[in-house]
Chain A
Amino acid sequence: MGGKLLPAALGAGSPHLSQVATSAAHGEDSPYFAGWKAYDENPYDAVTNPDGVIQMGLAENQVSFELIEGYLREHPEAAGWGGGAGSFRDNALFLDCHGLKSFRKAMASFMEKIRDGKARFDPDRIVLTAGATAANELLTFILANPGDALLIPTPYYPGFDRDLTWRTGVNIVPVHCDSANGFEVTVAALQEAYDEAAAAGMRVCGVLITNPSNPLGTTVKRTVLEDILDFVVCKNIHLISDEIYSGSVFAAPDLVSVAELVESRARHGGDDVANRVHIVYSLSKDLGLPGFRVGLVYSYNDAVVTTARRMSSFTLVSSQTQKTLAAMLSDEAFADAYIRTNREHLRARHDHIVAGLARAGVSCLRGNAGLFVWMDMRRLLGDGDGDATVAGELRLWDKMLHDVKLNISPGSSCHCSEPGWFRVCFANMSSATLDLALARISRFTDGWNCCS
Chain B
Amino acid sequence: MNSVGEACTELKREYDQCFNRWFAEKFLKGENAGDPCVQLFKRYQLCVQKAIKEKDIPIEGLEFMGPSKGKAENSS
Q: Is B a genuine binding partner of A?
A: no
